[in-house]
Structure 1
Amino acid sequence: MLDLEAARTFALVVQNQSFSEAARRLGVSAPVISKQVARLEKALGARLLQRTTRRLGLTEAGTAFYAHCVRMLEEADAAERAVSRLHAAPRGHLRVSATVGFGSLRIAPLLPGFLARYPEVSVELVCDDRVVDLVEGGYDLALRLTAQPGDLLVARALTAVRQVLCAAPAYLERHGTPQRPEELADHNCLRYLRSDDAGDTRWAFVSEGRSLGVPVAGNFSTNNIDALRRAAMAGLGIILGSSYRLEPDIRAGRLVEILGTFLPEQDARIYAVYPSNRHLSPKTRVFIDYLVGALGDS
């Protein structure tokens, strides 16, 4: 088996073109360096260096071995760094992207506990409903609501998210409660405008085991889910949104859930995602673990 330290010594000799300089850098004597290189040559069965009184040169075998040696040492150093990161104390600034609703309602309340547990970590939570570029934006990770996180990202599921359909009691008293998804054509449906299209013009339901896309229309749409929620509570119309956003209002009686048996039990999940070409730092790893423990699969 190749002696990694001997290979490192050989590379240092080549880079400095000197046994004595390599010895000085390693804090040993030149004869120690010479013996290490000699043992390496014996193990490989080939002379690696040509020594003259004026210069130190590589043999053909030495040139070939040095090229492989550099790559091998780089990989060994990378492996050591990877292991060290696993055991290093989490520290540094953590930049996290999340949607406005999930970030403010579910993540922000968890941060005091996380920061108390990891006092050397600081968190910057950027809440935006747009899908951001993690690398260009300098984010360590993003929390995304999706059915498919994408092939270019490493994703870890945090929690399932259920969609709920609801309206204010006053609206239902005036206009009646729809009993089937098709009846939404006769109602004022408040639509959320996403950044990638004109808005939710079709809502997804399940009827008799089959997926059903129902066209909806209304006199109010917005890209702000809280504005949509407030309009629904004021009795303007029917709203479709995430359970974590609307269930507090349903429990308080401000909104009434409708057509619950026609909605998919689990539309999507919240994922913690980060670029696949990036090592997971200790601060990012413990943050994801903390969220998994706190959110579970609720």
Structure 2
Amino acid sequence: MNKLQAMEVFVEVVDAGGFTRAAEHLQMPKATVTTLIQSLEKELAVKLLHRTTRHISVTADGAAYYERCLRILSDVREAEESLSRNRASPRGRLRVDVSTGMASAILIPALPDFFERYPDIALELGCSDRPVDLIEEGVDCAVRGGNLGDSNLIARRIGVINFATCASVDYLAKFGRPAHPRDLEQHQCVNYFSSKTGKTMDWDFTRDGERIEMSMRGKIAVNDSNAYASAGLAGLGIVQMTDFQMAPYLANGHFELLLKEWTTDPLPIHVVYPQNRHLSAKVRVFVEWIAELFSSQSGVSTSRSV
């Protein structure tokens, strides 16, 4: 038995919460995963996992061994990378998750630069506005907007995204322009709802110390940023969009900016990764690269633009 491989498999089984998911993440047969865990328990002469037909749980000995495995594997990877850092570029599969709008407008157009710098990294890019469980779904890191509630994640703030209100030219020609946020009560708006909670997001406006928060009236709500833009372009209502996603539509005349003197709350953006995993070279270079990308990106800032 390869002891280091068995440790890696054991850690993955615990993180994934089962043999099937661990086998998928490790890209090895489930039978191999099961055999390695059984061999590990036999050699250690302890039971590491409680198994039922529905789920697994870690024994007290297994929890202690898990923590030791994390430290050992981290030390081994760090030693390997310290020796190879000057001889080879980071390599391997990297799984990243990002929202659809951010992927389309910011990340994907910049990827040729990333691959030119790191040709040996194969990127698997998950694009959705659905919040993912990084550990359970085998994601190395994710770019997330908003306040973070996951205590098991390390977060690096990489920027702030601003929003503005706009509508399609066709919508404005048919229904007119609002002059004040309260005028929106007489308009149709496109709503956005959370994939996690199902809650529809309120809109907010601030000007000269006055603040207004509103629940918007509308016939359609979506949970995807690209679909949100498409609904606005189709004239289904007024939208409140990120600056970077709105910019090309303002430039080509499909959208017009509304309520220019009012600002909205900015959204902090973080790149996050699990704290119980060693920050591998491929994750490290991606984190540094995307932080650099956001620092120079139009429509993204380190503070609220005025």
Pair 1:282 & 2:278 matched: no
Distance 1:80 1:164 in 2: 48
Aligned residue for 2:135, secondary structure, equals helix
Identity %: 32
Where does residue 225 of structure 1 map in the other structure? Answer: 225
Task: State the distance in 2 between where 1:280 and 1:193 align.
Answer: 33
Deviation, 1:101, is 1.1
Could you tell me which amino acid in structure 2 is paired with residue 156 of structure 1?
R
Distance in 2, Cα, partners of 1:147 & 1:75: 29
Q: Tell me how far 1:112 sits from its aligned partner.
A: 1.7
Alignment of 1:147-166 (within 5 A): 147-148=147-148, 150-166=150-166
1:106-255 alignment, distance < 5 Å: 106-148=106-148, 150-200=150-200, 202-255=202-255
**1:149–1:273 Cα contact (<8 Å) kept:** no
Point out where structure 2 has 5 or more consecutive residues left out of the alignment: 1-67, 301-306
1:261-272 to structure 2, matched below 5 A, reads 261-264=261-264, 267-272=266-271
> Over residues 83-129 of structure 1, what are the superposed CA-to-partner deviations in whole Å (9 max), with x where a residue is unaligned?
54356341111000111111122111122211121111110101111
Whole-Å separation in 2 of the counterparts to 1:136 and 1:218:
36
C-alpha separation in 1, matches of 2:197 and 2:217 = 15
Quote the Cα distance in structure 2 between the aligned partners of 1:122 and 1:108. Answer: 14
Asked whether the equivalents of residues 131 and 196 of structure 2 are also in contact (C-alpha less than 8 Å), the reply is no
Deviations 1:129-170 (A, max 9, x none): 110000011111001111346433111122221112110122
Aligned equivalents of 2:259, 2:188: Cα separation in 1: 15
User: What corresponds to 2:18 in structure 1?
Assistant: none
Q: What displacement does 1:223 show? A: 2.3
Does the 8 Å contact 1:149/1:155 carry over to 2?
A: no
Deviation at 1:77, TM superposition (A): 8.8
C-alpha displacement of 1:181: 1.1
When residues 201 and 109 of structure 1 are mapped into structure 2, their CA distance, relative to the original with a 3 A threshold, is: closer
Give the Cα separation in 2 of the matches to 1:150 and 1:83: 29
Separation in structure 2 between the aligned mates of residue 188 and residue 263 of structure 1, nearest angstrom: 20
Code of the aligned partner of 1:85: E
Distance 2:138 2:130 in 1: 15
Secondary structure in structure 2 of the residue aligned to 1:173:
helix
Q: How many residues align?
A: 226
How do 1:11-90 residues align onto structure 2 when only pairs under 5 Å count?
Answer: 79=75, 81-82=77-78, 84-85=80-81, 88=85, 89-90=89-90
- Check 1:275–1:101 CA distance in 2 against 1; reply closer, same or farther (3 A cut): same
Residue 212 of structure 1: CA displacement? 2.2
CA distance in 1, matches of 2:127, 2:112: 17
What letter is aligned with 2:287? I
Matched AA of 1:276: Q
Q: CA deviation at 1:295?
A: 2.1
For the Cα contact (< 8 Å) 2:129–2:225, is it kept in 1? no
Whole-angstrom distance in 1 between the partners of 2:236 and 2:120: 47
Q: Does the CA-based 8 Å contact 2:100-2:226 persist in structure 1?
A: no
Larger-Rg structure: 1
**1:226 corresponds to which letter in structure 2?**
N
Q: Distance in 2 between matches of 1:192 and 1:76?
A: 45
TM-score, normalised with respect to structure 2:
0.67
Instruction: Find the aligned partners of 1:93 and 1:101 in 2 and give their Cα distance.
Output: 23
Compared CA separation, residues 81 and 190, structure 1 to 2 (3 A): closer
The 1-side partners of 2:162 and 2:114 are apart by 26
List runs of 5+ in structure 1 lacking aligned partners.
1-71
Give the SS at the match of 1:134.
coil
Q: TM-score, with normalisation over the residues of structure 1?
A: 0.68
Distance 1:249 1:78 in 2: 47
SS where residue 200 of structure 2 aligns?
coil
The answer to whether the Cα contact below 8 Å between 1:201 and 1:217 also exists between their aligned partners in 2 is no
TM-align CA RMSD: 2.6
* Alignment-derived partner of residue 27 in structure 1: none
Q: Is the 8 A contact 2:74 2:278 kept in 1?
A: no
